[in-house]
Amino acid sequence: MIIEVTNLHKSFGENEVLTGIDCTVAESEVVCVIGPSGSGKSTLLRCLNRLEDITAGEVVVDGYHLTDRKIRIDDVRAEIGMVFQQFNLFPHKSVIENIMLAPMKVRGLSAHEARERGRVLLQKVGLQEKENAYPSSLSGGQQQRVAIARALAMEPKIMLFDEPTSALDPELVGEVLAVMKDLAREGMTMVVVTHEMGFAREVGDRVLFMDGGVIVEEGTPTQVFDHPRETRTRAFLEKVL
Ligand code: ADP
Ligand code: MG
Protein backbone atom coordinates (compact mmCIF):
# COMPACT_ATOMS: atom_id res chain seq x y z
CA MET A 1 0.00 0.00 0.00
CA ILE A 2 1.44 3.35 -0.99
CA ILE A 3 -1.09 5.26 1.15
CA GLU A 4 -2.34 4.00 4.51
CA VAL A 5 -4.69 6.09 6.60
CA THR A 6 -5.62 4.79 10.06
CA ASN A 7 -8.24 6.33 12.30
CA LEU A 8 -7.58 9.83 10.97
CA HIS A 9 -9.22 12.66 12.86
CA LYS A 10 -9.06 16.28 11.81
CA SER A 11 -10.52 19.22 13.69
CA PHE A 12 -10.65 22.90 12.93
CA GLY A 13 -10.97 24.36 16.43
CA GLU A 14 -13.99 22.73 18.00
CA ASN A 15 -15.26 21.44 14.67
CA GLU A 16 -14.23 17.84 14.01
CA VAL A 17 -14.56 17.41 10.26
CA LEU A 18 -12.90 14.00 9.87
CA THR A 19 -14.04 11.60 12.57
CA GLY A 20 -12.06 8.43 12.06
CA ILE A 21 -11.04 7.70 8.48
CA ASP A 22 -9.49 4.37 7.52
CA CYS A 23 -8.42 3.80 3.96
CA THR A 24 -5.61 2.49 1.84
CA VAL A 25 -4.49 3.05 -1.71
CA ALA A 26 -2.40 0.50 -3.58
CA GLU A 27 0.25 1.37 -6.13
CA SER A 28 -1.29 2.15 -9.54
CA GLU A 29 -4.75 2.23 -8.06
CA VAL A 30 -7.27 4.95 -8.96
CA VAL A 31 -9.49 5.80 -6.00
CA CYS A 32 -12.35 8.22 -6.56
CA VAL A 33 -13.82 10.06 -3.59
CA ILE A 34 -17.42 11.20 -3.88
CA GLY A 35 -19.84 12.75 -1.43
CA PRO A 36 -21.80 15.89 -0.63
CA SER A 37 -20.26 19.31 -0.18
CA GLY A 38 -18.78 19.73 3.29
CA SER A 39 -18.34 16.00 3.91
CA GLY A 40 -14.56 16.35 4.31
CA LYS A 41 -13.28 15.22 0.91
CA SER A 42 -10.84 18.10 0.42
CA THR A 43 -9.68 17.91 4.01
CA LEU A 44 -8.89 14.21 3.63
CA LEU A 45 -6.95 14.88 0.43
CA ARG A 46 -5.03 17.74 2.07
CA CYS A 47 -4.10 15.51 5.02
CA LEU A 48 -2.38 13.15 2.57
CA ASN A 49 0.37 15.67 1.93
CA ARG A 50 -0.02 17.46 5.24
CA LEU A 51 -1.35 20.65 3.76
CA GLU A 52 -3.52 20.22 6.86
CA ASP A 53 -2.09 19.19 10.20
CA ILE A 54 -3.30 15.81 11.34
CA THR A 55 -5.21 16.05 14.63
CA ALA A 56 -5.04 12.34 15.49
CA GLY A 57 -4.45 9.02 13.82
CA GLU A 58 -1.84 7.93 11.33
CA VAL A 59 -1.15 8.71 7.69
CA VAL A 60 1.66 6.83 5.97
CA VAL A 61 2.53 7.83 2.40
CA ASP A 62 5.23 5.96 0.52
CA GLY A 63 6.71 4.86 3.83
CA TYR A 64 6.73 8.34 5.38
CA HIS A 65 4.81 8.67 8.65
CA LEU A 66 3.34 12.13 8.21
CA THR A 67 2.75 12.63 11.92
CA ASP A 68 6.45 12.13 12.58
CA ARG A 69 7.84 15.63 13.07
CA LYS A 70 11.31 14.43 12.03
CA ILE A 71 10.41 13.73 8.41
CA ARG A 72 11.11 16.45 5.89
CA ILE A 73 7.66 17.17 4.54
CA ASP A 74 9.10 18.69 1.37
CA ASP A 75 10.60 15.29 0.52
CA VAL A 76 7.14 13.75 0.79
CA ARG A 77 5.46 16.54 -1.15
CA ALA A 78 7.98 16.12 -3.96
CA GLU A 79 6.53 12.62 -4.49
CA ILE A 80 2.92 13.84 -4.56
CA GLY A 81 1.45 15.96 -7.33
CA MET A 82 -1.68 17.92 -6.55
CA VAL A 83 -4.19 19.50 -8.90
CA PHE A 84 -6.88 21.81 -7.55
CA GLN A 85 -10.18 23.10 -8.78
CA GLN A 86 -8.53 26.47 -9.40
CA PHE A 87 -5.56 25.96 -11.66
CA ASN A 88 -3.19 28.23 -9.72
CA LEU A 89 -0.73 28.78 -12.58
CA PHE A 90 1.77 31.60 -12.17
CA PRO A 91 0.19 34.36 -14.27
CA HIS A 92 3.43 36.17 -15.11
CA LYS A 93 5.19 33.06 -16.36
CA SER A 94 4.70 31.35 -19.69
CA VAL A 95 3.34 27.83 -19.91
CA ILE A 96 6.77 26.24 -20.22
CA GLU A 97 8.19 28.40 -17.41
CA ASN A 98 5.35 27.30 -15.15
CA ILE A 99 6.33 23.70 -15.80
CA MET A 100 10.10 24.20 -15.53
CA LEU A 101 10.11 25.97 -12.18
CA ALA A 102 9.76 23.16 -9.62
CA PRO A 103 11.98 20.60 -11.36
CA MET A 104 14.78 23.19 -11.46
CA LYS A 105 14.28 24.40 -7.88
CA VAL A 106 13.48 21.12 -6.16
CA ARG A 107 15.00 18.43 -8.38
CA GLY A 108 18.04 20.41 -9.50
CA LEU A 109 17.42 20.04 -13.23
CA SER A 110 19.20 22.43 -15.58
CA ALA A 111 17.04 24.83 -17.59
CA HIS A 112 17.74 22.73 -20.66
CA GLU A 113 16.66 19.50 -18.98
CA ALA A 114 13.58 21.11 -17.46
CA ARG A 115 12.56 22.56 -20.83
CA GLU A 116 12.95 19.22 -22.57
CA ARG A 117 10.92 17.47 -19.90
CA GLY A 118 8.30 20.22 -20.09
CA ARG A 119 7.98 19.82 -23.85
CA VAL A 120 7.38 16.09 -23.54
CA LEU A 121 4.68 16.74 -20.96
CA LEU A 122 3.02 19.45 -23.04
CA GLN A 123 2.85 16.98 -25.87
CA LYS A 124 1.29 14.45 -23.53
CA VAL A 125 -1.49 16.87 -22.53
CA GLY A 126 -1.93 18.03 -26.13
CA LEU A 127 -0.57 21.57 -25.71
CA GLN A 128 2.85 21.52 -27.35
CA GLU A 129 1.98 24.59 -29.42
CA LYS A 130 1.23 26.60 -26.25
CA GLU A 131 4.74 26.47 -24.83
CA ASN A 132 5.24 30.23 -24.91
CA ALA A 133 1.66 31.28 -24.23
CA TYR A 134 0.64 32.93 -20.96
CA PRO A 135 -2.05 31.38 -18.77
CA SER A 136 -4.52 34.23 -19.30
CA SER A 137 -4.63 33.46 -23.03
CA LEU A 138 -5.68 29.85 -22.43
CA SER A 139 -9.10 28.34 -21.83
CA GLY A 140 -9.83 26.85 -18.43
CA GLY A 141 -9.44 23.36 -19.83
CA GLN A 142 -6.06 24.24 -21.30
CA GLN A 143 -4.94 25.85 -18.05
CA GLN A 144 -5.93 22.76 -16.11
CA ARG A 145 -4.00 20.55 -18.53
CA VAL A 146 -0.94 22.77 -18.00
CA ALA A 147 -1.45 22.41 -14.24
CA ILE A 148 -1.44 18.63 -14.65
CA ALA A 149 1.72 18.79 -16.79
CA ARG A 150 3.33 21.01 -14.16
CA ALA A 151 2.56 18.50 -11.42
CA LEU A 152 3.86 15.63 -13.56
CA ALA A 153 7.14 17.46 -14.19
CA MET A 154 8.18 16.51 -10.66
CA GLU A 155 7.74 12.84 -11.61
CA PRO A 156 5.45 12.20 -8.65
CA LYS A 157 4.54 8.72 -7.46
CA ILE A 158 1.03 9.81 -6.53
CA MET A 159 -1.35 12.36 -8.01
CA LEU A 160 -4.11 13.95 -5.94
CA PHE A 161 -6.94 15.71 -7.77
CA ASP A 162 -9.46 17.89 -5.92
CA GLU A 163 -12.44 18.46 -8.20
CA PRO A 164 -10.20 19.26 -11.16
CA THR A 165 -13.09 19.90 -13.54
CA SER A 166 -15.54 21.68 -11.24
CA ALA A 167 -14.50 25.18 -12.34
CA LEU A 168 -14.70 24.39 -16.05
CA ASP A 169 -17.38 25.14 -18.58
CA PRO A 170 -19.10 21.86 -19.43
CA GLU A 171 -17.63 21.63 -22.93
CA LEU A 172 -14.07 21.74 -21.48
CA VAL A 173 -14.50 18.98 -18.91
CA GLY A 174 -13.89 16.13 -21.33
CA GLU A 175 -10.40 17.21 -22.43
CA VAL A 176 -9.18 17.27 -18.82
CA LEU A 177 -10.80 13.94 -17.95
CA ALA A 178 -9.17 12.43 -21.06
CA VAL A 179 -5.72 13.45 -19.81
CA MET A 180 -6.50 11.95 -16.40
CA LYS A 181 -7.73 8.77 -18.00
CA ASP A 182 -4.46 8.43 -19.95
CA LEU A 183 -2.53 8.86 -16.71
CA ALA A 184 -4.59 6.17 -15.02
CA ARG A 185 -4.00 3.84 -17.92
CA GLU A 186 -0.26 4.37 -17.62
CA GLY A 187 -0.42 3.17 -14.02
CA MET A 188 -0.28 6.40 -12.03
CA THR A 189 -1.55 6.09 -8.47
CA MET A 190 -4.39 8.59 -8.23
CA VAL A 191 -6.84 9.84 -5.62
CA VAL A 192 -9.54 11.86 -7.33
CA VAL A 193 -12.23 13.87 -5.57
CA THR A 194 -14.85 14.34 -8.23
CA HIS A 195 -18.46 15.01 -9.10
CA GLU A 196 -17.95 13.29 -12.45
CA MET A 197 -19.73 10.03 -11.73
CA GLY A 198 -19.08 8.76 -15.25
CA PHE A 199 -15.36 9.16 -14.72
CA ALA A 200 -15.50 7.49 -11.29
CA ARG A 201 -17.41 4.57 -12.75
CA GLU A 202 -15.22 4.14 -15.79
CA VAL A 203 -11.74 4.94 -14.49
CA GLY A 204 -11.96 4.32 -10.74
CA ASP A 205 -10.74 1.01 -9.38
CA ARG A 206 -12.47 1.87 -6.14
CA VAL A 207 -14.97 4.48 -5.04
CA LEU A 208 -15.19 5.96 -1.53
CA PHE A 209 -18.42 7.65 -0.52
CA MET A 210 -17.92 10.19 2.27
CA ASP A 211 -20.55 11.91 4.35
CA GLY A 212 -20.21 13.79 7.62
CA GLY A 213 -16.49 13.22 8.01
CA VAL A 214 -16.50 9.44 7.59
CA ILE A 215 -16.27 6.97 4.75
CA VAL A 216 -19.81 5.65 4.70
CA GLU A 217 -19.24 3.07 2.00
CA GLU A 218 -16.55 1.92 -0.37
CA GLY A 219 -16.24 -0.64 -3.09
CA THR A 220 -15.80 -1.11 -6.79
CA PRO A 221 -17.73 1.34 -8.96
CA THR A 222 -20.25 -1.41 -9.70
CA GLN A 223 -20.77 -2.10 -6.00
CA VAL A 224 -21.16 1.54 -5.02
CA PHE A 225 -23.13 2.83 -8.00
CA ASP A 226 -25.29 -0.18 -8.83
CA HIS A 227 -25.64 -1.90 -5.47
CA PRO A 228 -25.18 0.72 -2.72
CA ARG A 229 -25.66 -0.84 0.71
CA GLU A 230 -26.12 2.30 2.78
CA THR A 231 -29.16 4.57 2.84
CA ARG A 232 -26.96 7.67 2.77
CA THR A 233 -25.16 6.46 -0.35
CA ARG A 234 -28.45 5.76 -2.10
CA ALA A 235 -29.82 9.17 -1.18
CA PHE A 236 -26.71 10.90 -2.51
CA LEU A 237 -26.64 8.92 -5.73
CA GLU A 238 -30.32 9.61 -6.37
CA LYS A 239 -29.52 13.31 -6.34
CA VAL A 240 -26.44 13.22 -8.58
CA LEU A 241 -27.11 10.44 -11.09
P1 ADP B 1 -15.69 18.93 0.93
O2 ADP B 1 -14.40 19.01 0.18
O3 ADP B 1 -16.24 17.54 1.03
O4 ADP B 1 -16.72 19.87 0.40
P5 ADP B 1 -14.17 20.10 3.09
O6 ADP B 1 -13.13 19.12 3.43
O7 ADP B 1 -13.78 21.27 2.25
O8 ADP B 1 -15.42 19.34 2.44
O9 ADP B 1 -14.81 20.69 4.40
C10 ADP B 1 -15.30 19.88 5.46
C11 ADP B 1 -15.68 20.76 6.61
O12 ADP B 1 -14.51 21.36 7.14
C13 ADP B 1 -16.61 21.90 6.23
O14 ADP B 1 -17.56 22.05 7.26
C15 ADP B 1 -15.70 23.09 6.17
O16 ADP B 1 -16.38 24.26 6.52
C17 ADP B 1 -14.65 22.75 7.20
N18 ADP B 1 -13.34 23.35 6.88
C19 ADP B 1 -12.58 23.05 5.80
N20 ADP B 1 -11.43 23.76 5.80
C21 ADP B 1 -11.47 24.54 6.91
C22 ADP B 1 -10.57 25.50 7.48
N23 ADP B 1 -9.40 25.81 6.91
N24 ADP B 1 -10.95 26.10 8.63
C25 ADP B 1 -12.13 25.80 9.22
N26 ADP B 1 -13.01 24.89 8.74
C27 ADP B 1 -12.70 24.28 7.60
MG1 MG C 1 -13.85 20.09 -1.47
pLDDT of the residue at 241:
87
Question: Which portions of the chain are predicted below pLDDT 50?
Answer: none
Is the distance from CB of 193 to CB of 23 less than 8 angstroms? Answer: no
Based on the number of CB atoms within 10 Å of its own CB, is 78 exposed (0-12), middle (13-18) or buried (19 or more)?
A: middle
Question: From ligand 1's centre to the CA of 194, what distance in Å?
Answer: 16
Protein residue closest via CA to atom 12 of ligand 1: 17
Domain 3-238: which CATH number of 3.40.50.300, 2.40.110.10, 3.30.420.10, 1.20.1530.20: 3.40.50.300
* Mutate-to-test residue for ligand 1 from 42, 52, 232, highest number of ligand atoms within 8 A of CB: 42
The residues spanned by each domain of the chain are: 3-238
> Which is the closest atom of ligand 1 to the Cα of 37?
4
> Max Cα separation, the chain?
56
Q: Which atom of ligand 1 is nearest to the CA of 43?
A: 6
